[in-house]
């Protein structure tokens, strides 16, 4: 069974940093692209970052580019999101997601999410 | 960036009714369009990928269609468990962009 378990969320002051983790199990982690998606309270979904299965390429929207870094440690089946210079608008539940199949995008598997609150 | 516009924002329909949700892209997205269902308090769930491919385990009353800039999610016979917010997502080009969602309720 595919499982994605996020951790690392919490309350953080504006301008500070936080690192999220997502531990994957139930599949061969190094075969899949992985993606972080967030959802602000009561709002819609926003794509945050994607990484190829090898970690060789990463992708970000302008809203987080230069502040957030997605990475992975395939030996430990773990995905990360390093978030720097946090802003109030980064307050959201952050979901770790996996593609449907290798080479077939579509966020078929989601973690339970971890809440990040940026506030002084 | 490609803008995704969903309509309506809110829809109330009766059990058994046929329901159609719309998603319009600001440019051609070559059928790289997914639909997600999110129930209250839960993570989103993939319903349909690449416009019309039903994800495993999703009831056959859900279907997708479209091309170019215009896409549709259809529920052939609305069930009480379909109460949720539905989001479309374009994967044609970076940055990936979601629509703002359609909240579906039972009348």
pLDDT attached to residue B72: 98
Tens-digit pLDDT profile for residues A59-107? 999 999 999 999 999 999 999 999 999 999 999 999 999 999 888 889 9
Going A29 to A32 to A33 to A36, the CA torsion angle's sign is: negative
pLDDT attached to residue A102: 87
Q: How confident is the model at residue B85 (pLDDT cuts 50, 70, 90)?
A: very high
The Cα of B17 is separated from the nearest Cα of chain A by a number of Å equal to 26
pLDDT attached to residue A8: 97
With vertex at residue B72, the alpha carbon angle to CA B106 and CA B46, rounded to the nearest 5 degrees, is: 75
The mean per-residue pLDDT over the stretch B64-81 comes to 98
Round to whole Å and give the CA distance between B6 and B63: 16
Round to whole Å and give the CA distance between B52 and B32: 10
Give kind and range of the element (H or E) at residue B92: none
Q: What percent of chain B has pLDDT over 90?
A: 100
pLDDT attached to residue A103: 81
pLDDT attached to residue B25: 98
Nearest to A82 by CA among A111, A58, A53: A58
Residues of B with CB below 8 A from A107's CB?
A: 34, 36, 44, 46, 89
Round to whole Å and give the CA distance between A96 and A80: 9
Nearest to B48 by CA among B26, B39, B58: B58
pLDDT attached to residue A52: 95
Residues of A with CB below 8 A from B58's CB?
A: none
Q: How confident is the model at residue B29 (pLDDT cuts 50, 70, 90)?
A: very high
Going B67 to B72 to B74 to B79, the CA torsion angle's sign is: positive
pLDDT attached to residue B84: 98
Tens-digit pLDDT profile for residues A103-113? 888 999 999 99
Round to whole Å and give the CA distance between B7 and B102: 7
Nearest to A55 by CA among A23, A25, A19, A80: A80
Give yes or no for residue B58 having a pLDDT over 90.
yes
CA-nearest residue to B33 within chain A is A106
Tens-digit pLDDT profile for residues A7-61? 999 999 999 999 999 999 999 999 999 999 999 999 999 999 999 999 999 999 9
DSSP string, B20-46: EEEEEESS--TT-EEEEEE-TTS--EE
Q: Evaluate whether B64 touches B35 at the Cβ level (below 8 Å).
A: yes
Flag whether residue A114 sits within 8 Å of chain B, measured between CB atoms: no
Q: Name which of B1, B44, B50 is nearest A45 (Cβ-Cβ).
A: B44
Q: Evaluate whether A31 touches A55 at the Cβ level (below 8 Å).
A: no
């Amino acid at each position: 069974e595919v499982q994605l378990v996020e951790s690392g969320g919490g309350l953080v002051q504006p301008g500070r940093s936080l690192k999220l983790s997502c531990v994957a199990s139930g599949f061969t982690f190094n075969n899949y692209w992985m993606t972080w998606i967030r959802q602000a309270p009561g709002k819609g979904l926003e794509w945050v970052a994607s990484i190829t299965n090898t970690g060789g390429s990463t992708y970000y929207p302008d809203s987080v580019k230069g502040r957030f870094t997605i990475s992975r440690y395939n030996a430990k089946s773990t995905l990360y999101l390093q978030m720097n210079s946090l802003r109030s608008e980064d307050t959201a539940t952050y979901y770790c997601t996996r593609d449907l199949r290798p080479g077939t995008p579509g966020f078929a598997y989601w973690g339970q999410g971890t809440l990040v609150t940026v506030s002084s | 960036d490609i803008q995704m516009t969903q309509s309506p924002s809110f829809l109330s329909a009766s059990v058994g009714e046929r329901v159609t949700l719309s998603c319009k892209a600001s440019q051609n997205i070559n059928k790289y369009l997914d639909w997600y269902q999110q129930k209250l308090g839960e993570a989103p769930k993939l319903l349909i990928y690449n416009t019309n491919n039903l994800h495993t385990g999703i009831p056959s009353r859900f279907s997708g269609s479209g091309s170019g800039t215009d896409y549709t999610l259809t529920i052939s016979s609305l069930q009480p468990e379909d109460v949720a917010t539905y989001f479309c997502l374009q994967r044609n080009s970076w940055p990936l962009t979601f629509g703002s969602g359609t909240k579906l309720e039972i009348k």
